Amino acid sequence: MPERRTVALVTLGCARNEVDSEELAGRLEADGWQLVEDAADADVAVVNTCGFVEAAKKDSVDALLEANDLKDHGRTQAVVAVGCMAERYGKELAQALPEADGVLGFDDYADISDRLQTILSGGIHAAHTPRDRRKLLPISPAERQESAAAVALPGHGPTDLPEGVAPASGPRAPLRRRLDGSPVASVKLASGCDRRCSFCAIPSFRGSFISRRPSDVLNETRWLAEQGVKEIMLVSENNTSYGKDLGDIRLLESLLPNLADVDGIERVRVSYLQPAEMRPGLIDVLTSTPKVVPYFDLSFQHSAPDVLRAMRRFGDTDRFLELLDTIRSKAPEAGVRSNFIVGFPGESESDLAELERFLNGARLDAIGVFGYSDEEGTEAATYENKLDEDVVAERLAHISRLAEELVSQRAEERVGQTVHVLVESVDAEEGVYGRAEHQAPETDGQVLLTSGEGLSVGRMVEAKVVGTEGVDLVAEPLTGSPVCTEEAGR
């Protein structure tokens, strides 16, 4: 019997990329490939790249070069680039990085097994020519669903597959294969974005906004629960737009309670929310539905009106603070995080001071700060009133220091509170770590539990916050607290 072909997936970037990698894994395993964790043990290393900002693109190139080095002293015979950077640059990336044996775009995902076999056999699959993916679907959201079947939408793999076609426990399984044993998994609500922020190139290579059908999201959540997942995080480029192409902009409000009712799911988290699209009904559902955590990942980006208008965005400091007041009037301990860009073209000292005013009043749990840099193909790249690089760097350092201080203060406000912690790692030397309701994976800090007796990965435990370490919390499990008895892998 011939030895099975082996493949490793190396994922960079956001949670959306993680979902795409698991769909690719499902397709490959269904076609007979053996999935391995370490690229050094694989015939083919597939690097799922990020193409959002320069730092992410550099990380993607470094990962491709690192995988290529394995060809000299490991089993690896081929290195293939997929993901956003591969889709965005196509032939240009292939020419600039000959170390990659293949550069595959989203249109190649449905035939990923054949593409990898061709490359592994020494053949060549021509890198694609990038195109504006916004033009692949109708301008009117109401007309998009009929055209969706003809467009590659990573992470929108079908559900209700026959048994045996994909790694599945039943006919409702998605075309997806989990790549780790974490009790947390992301689920795609939609792909693409209809917003036209002047600094962002994502819509051009991810395409126009298109929702997944609620039944697919629900079926995938059920399947993930069967795999031991306790928390799902709903992801897309803009979750507040979910359902607009299905005829119901309030579809998320009706879907969330159904997801929370799935057996085995302990926590539902919604990410990527647009402040300008927040509505009272959605806030109500996010703050009052059992198992749906009051967590608000709000994309503010700035708070000075002139900067926001130049970004093609809406709002200002006072309106944003009013939104946060509304949220906290319904859920006082709600978690809120956001990202901000400083040094945007035309940003004045008074604009920066306005951003500081907002940050000081917002009491955010987590803050990401980025210095502006031109992104190819964006409107902002054509602006003339650019700030000097040293000015951008100075403002980035200043706001970053402020952000670090503010999130530490916010963490200290939680001392004495009771939190529900999902245990994610248990180590005899390092200790027991998990996350509270206000903390999303990887971005918002974590909770160190002072005692790990009787705890295992996937358990939910009630604990009292007794200290902080920057943005992280230290919490003591409460004696006799209700602890979920099911383990993540059971």
Residue 380 phi, psi (nearest 5): -60, -25
Q: State how far the alpha carbon of 481 is from the alpha carbons of 197, 352, 421, in Å.
A: 46, 46, 11
* Other beta carbons within 10 Å of 328: 16
- Pairwise CA distance, residues 327 & 322, whole Å: 9
The H helix count followed by the E strand count for the chain is 14, 18
- Pairing status of strand 418-427 against strand 431-435: antiparallel
- Give CA–CA dist 191/320, Å, rounded: 26
Q: Are 346 and 337 in contact (CB under 8 A)?
A: no
Q: Are 181 and 490 in contact (CB under 8 A)?
A: no
Q: How far apart are CA 135 and CA 299, in angstroms?
A: 25
Strand partners, 477: 463
Q: Is 200 annotated for ligand binding?
A: yes
Query: Cα angle at 335 between 366 and 206, to 5 degrees?
Result: 70
Alpha helices by DSSP H, 14-122: 15-30, 54-73, 84-89, 91-96, 112-120
Q: How far is CA 433 from CA 222, 237, 398, 459, in A?
A: 26, 29, 31, 11
The CA distances from residue 24 to 33, 82, 221, in Å, are 11, 10, 18
For residue 4, what are its two tokens? 């099975």
Three-state DSSP class for 40? helix
Query: CA–CA separation, 394 vs 372, rounded Å?
Result: 12
Whether 193 has a binding-site annotation, put simply, is yes
Name the DSSP class of 134: G
- How many Cβ atoms are within 10 Å of 368's Cβ, its own excluded? 14
User: Tell me, what amino acid is at 484?
Assistant: C
Confirm or deny that 484 is annotated as ligand binding.
Answer: no
CA 153 to chain CA mean position, Å: 16
Among 217, 84, 210, smallest CA distance to 149 is for 210
Largest CA distance in the chain: 71
Alpha helices of 81-194 — where are they, by DSSP H?
A: 84-89, 91-96, 112-120, 144-147
Binding residues for [4Fe-4S] cluster: 14, 50, 84, 193, 197, 200
Binding residues: 14, 50, 84, 193, 197, 200
